[in-house]
């Protein structure tokens, strides 16, 4: 099985099938991430399409010292930021839960999905850093590169984000009940 | 991986977001019309330009040397005929006259500089001779 970087080289040598394989590997992961960031599923789909187009067009500029996932997430984050519509948040109209693609694609559960809480509590940069660290298993250095931030900023942001979420989760009724059951 | 990290991972997996065949077809179709941008290497300057810049530099260096020599006093950069024509020929001293009239300043200055050194050399040789004599006497006393 070829690595991502080998597929990149094959694509640069003219193999469209190699890039199609890269799309296959990353499409669900990227869409899941973009669904948590975009205002709607349509925006997430536009963002993922733009991400693959940009990746294909500028594949020659990919630096093989980095992992391909770092590079493509960097593109995806930029596209997600471009897709955002800040005027929605500035308006007095509150979005109903059904409009949030993240809530819509999470199976009904008694407890809140931690990423819904993260989206509510953290800013976009901190949310992205948390996602890349704990879902994509990227290193601090790779996250710094993907977010175009310093490693120090990344470490501090991860630590604060984790503490904020832990505090929030510890305060939920479910956690309190579990603590009581443990006695 | 602690419980918190496991929960983050598990909840991320719980987000159902799969690319539909329609979306995949849309992505593939959009990639069809895209031409990848090739890496643009910085082109090296053409050989002619290199020669031109080298020759320009050389010409500038020669010009600077000429200008410096032109402005130095007592250095004649004009053709000899020009000076000869501007002065009466009778006033021009001949080479033997110059050699006879002008004192050999270089030799005098050389003698001035070297005479103390020669005296110093003689003193050193005298000291060496005295030291050698002293050593010889010591050896005679020892053996």
Q: Chain B: residue nearest A168 by CA?
A: B4
% helix, strand, coil for chain B, step of 5:
70, 0, 25
Domain check: are B108 and B141 in the same one? yes
Q: What is the pLDDT of residue A105?
A: 60
Per residue in A133-161, pLDDT (tens digit) is 999 999 999 999 999 899 999 999 999 99
Q: How is chain A split into domains, by residue range?
A: 1-105, 108-183
Q: What is the pLDDT of residue B128?
A: 93
Contact assignment for A19 to B7 by CB distance below 8 Å: no
Per residue in A44-70, pLDDT (tens digit) is 999 999 999 999 999 999 988 888 999
Residue B88 lies in a domain: yes
Residue B16 lies in a domain: no
Residue B7 lies in a domain: no
The parent domain of residue B80 ranges over 49-92
Handedness of CA B1, B4, B7, B11 (dihedral sign): negative
Mark which residues 27-56 of B lie under 8 Å from A by CB: 27-28, 30-31, 34-39
Residue B57 lies in a domain: yes
pLDDT over 90 (residue A76): yes
Q: What is the pLDDT of residue A96?
A: 43
Residue B143 lies in a domain: yes
Closest approach of B50 to chain A, Cα-based (Å): 30
Scanning the structure block, which residue is given the tokens 């979420």?
A: A165
Tally of structural domains, chain B: 2
Domain check: are B138 and B104 in the same one? yes
- CATH 1.10.1740.10: does it fit domain A1-105? yes
ipTM of the complex: 0.76
The CATH number of domain A108-183, selected from 3.30.230.10, 1.10.8.80, 1.10.10.10, 2.60.40.1180:
1.10.10.10
> Mean pLDDT, to the nearest integer, of A104-127?
79
Low-confidence ranges of chain B (pLDDT < 70): 39-47, 71-113, 141-143
Domain check: are B117 and B77 in the same one? no
Closest approach of A148 to chain B, Cα-based (Å): 22
Residue B53 lies in a domain: yes
Domain check: are B86 and B72 in the same one? yes
- Mutation target vs B (from A7, A51, A112, A134; most B CBs, 10 A cutoff): A134
Q: Between these two residues, A4 and A174, which has the higher pLDDT value? A: A4
Q: Is some CB atom of chain A closer than 8 A to the CB atom of B19?
A: yes
DSSP helix/strand/coil, A83:
helix
Domain check: are B88 and B102 in the same one? no
């Amino acid at each position: 099985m070829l690595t991502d970087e080998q597929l990149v080289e094959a694509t640069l040598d003219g193999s469209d099938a190699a890039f199609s394989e890269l799309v296959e590997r990353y499409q669900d992961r990227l869409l899941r991430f973009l669904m948590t960031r975009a205002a709607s599923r349509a925006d997430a789909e536009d963002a993922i399409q733009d991400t693959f187009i940009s990746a294909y067009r500028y594949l020659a500029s990919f630096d093989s010292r980095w992992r391909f996932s770092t590079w493509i997430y960097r593109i995806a984050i930029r596209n997600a930021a471009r897709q955002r519509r800040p005027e929605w948040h500035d308006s007095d109209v509150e979005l109903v839960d059904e409009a949030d693609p993240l809530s819509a694609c999470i199976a009904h559960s008694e407890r809140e999905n931690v990423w819904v809480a993260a989206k509510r509590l953290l800013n976009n940069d901190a949310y992205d850093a948390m996602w890349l660290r704990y879902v994509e298993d990227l290193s601090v250095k790779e996250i710094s590169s993907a977010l175009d931030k310093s490693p120090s900023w990344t470490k501090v942001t991860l630590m604060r984000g984790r503490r904020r979420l832990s505090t929030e989760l510890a305060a939920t009724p479910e956690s309190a009940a579990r603590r009581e059951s443990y006695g | 991986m602690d419980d918190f990290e496991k929960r983050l991972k598990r909840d991320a997996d719980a987000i159902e977001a799969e690319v539909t065949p329609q979306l995949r077809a849309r992505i593939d179709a959009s990639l069809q019309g895209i031409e990848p941008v090739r890496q643009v290497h910085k082109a090296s300057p053409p050989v002619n330009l290199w020669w031109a810049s080298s020759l320009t530099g050389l010409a500038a260096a020669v010009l600077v040397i000429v200008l410096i020599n032109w402005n130095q006093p007592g250095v004649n950069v004009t053709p000899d005929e020009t000076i000869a024509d501007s002065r009466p020929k009778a006033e021009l001293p001949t080479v033997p006259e110059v050699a006879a009239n002008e004192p050999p300043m270089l030799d005098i200055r050389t003698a001035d500089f070297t005479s103390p050194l020669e005296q110093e050399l003689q003193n050193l040789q005298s000291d060496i001779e005295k030291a050698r004599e002293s050593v010889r006497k010591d050896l005679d006393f020892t053996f």
